[in-house]
Structure 1
């Protein structure tokens, strides 16, 4: 699959960071057509290879998507809780638990961008999730139609202003098909219906902000039914607890 650019819009200084995040949404994400991008970074940051989440009914990838990683969306009869390890970012503040068979590697953003990225891969080496800690940008967005598949509070990541971020898995429509998002967000990005502000996957923290992004192909799923079916898989059952385990100390 063609690699995508996940970008931020540099909207505020650190002092005004939390206000920017809770009031605005983020646009181009995995599953969003490049032409629809609302975001810009102070220098765009090339992100990791994007994971394909496919059901049995999904058509074979096109020639432009041959590097994507096919993942079965067949539901598991019983989820087995894996043994866990803990990853802590180098500054010692944000940590999360992840299956011991998975790996986490850290990379520095391109020159001039703040923060450290942690990229989570499964036992086969497929990149599933990117988390960027200490970023100093805000979000901008557009009106969309949103369907929320799942959400839950993440109390370990309470923001300095008292806002408690949420885990969410959603689909958004804006006239060019559906885009799928999964990660942490302000609860305002989990409002359903027409004309809501687009997804923002940045949450404010005492050391800047945290960006979270589960990697989806473009499109992430053939339809919303396939997205709901993916929620019954082991992969979803492991990614969601990882995100819920995020903690700021």
Structure 2
């Protein structure tokens, strides 16, 4: 599926709602960056470097922003200055179990699935209304996947999200390539540790983490293609936007 956004509530045929899975995957609160100081994994990849890309803005029309083919906007800052940590708000899913911290200038809206389907989707947008991240809670779907070649750009522990089976999910930013000429796909979100295994023939990225209330899916909404090459992806990791998205994902907590 490369990096196209799958419609969250319409593609899963098992019990539950769609979680943008890859097949073959509240009151305000001020605080500090929950992932500050988390080191990035060193990248020794020699793939060609390129200038940081500027992603095309998504439509601000509500219907288009929620469409299956919606293209998010990961707009990169050209400033080299290091700003102060942004003020944060806290979003709590309606059932009160899962929460996360996000920049106060960003917004979160919720979308309900069709009648009879459990779960709720939280869509995070930046201050300009561009959709950046989808988080789904309460579904009961699963992942199936085929073998891929994976390179891990970054990973970090998410201590507040221990899975119902005792395993701790992991934040990751990865690229996967397919042997059938299908190109490369970029994924960023939470996953089980197996989705952070590198090399050839590993199982493809799964963005569903089991929880006590049915599961959590998380997916940064990249354009298609996400980046022109791996050098551009690494360059994006030095931006404020990347740091803020990573901090949001690492702040996820299940209570």
In the alignment of these two chains, the number of paired residues is 210
Aligned equivalents of 1:199, 1:231: Cα separation in 2? 19
Q: 1:180 aligns with which of 183, 186, 203?
A: 186
Q: Show structure 1 runs of 4+ deviating over 3 A.
A: 6-11, 54-61, 65-70, 73-77
Equivalent residue number for residue 229 of structure 1: 235
Equivalent residue number for residue 33 of structure 2: none
Structure 2: runs of 5+ lacking an equivalent? 26-49, 58-68
Q: 1:211 aligns with which of 206, 212, 217?
A: 217
- TM-score (structure 2 length as normaliser): 0.74
> Taking structure 1 as reference, are residues 60 and 94 closer, same or farther at Cα in structure 2, changes over 3 Å only?
closer
| Post-superposition CA distance 1:184-242 (Å, at most 9, x none) | 00010000000000000000000000000100011000000000000000100100010
Q: Is the 8 A contact 2:71 2:222 kept in 1?
A: no
Q: Is the 8 A contact 1:82 1:100 kept in 2?
A: yes
Aligned equivalents of 1:224, 1:203: Cα separation in 2? 26
Question: What is the correspondence of 1:124-135 to structure 2 with a 5 Å cutoff?
Answer: 124-135=128-139
The structure with more helix, counted as a fraction of residues: 1
Q: Is the 8 A contact 1:203 1:210 kept in 2?
A: yes
Q: Is the 8 A contact 1:116 1:133 kept in 2?
A: yes
- TM-score (structure 1 length as normaliser): 0.76
> Taking structure 1 as reference, are residues 86 and 59 closer, same or farther at Cα in structure 2, changes over 3 Å only?
closer
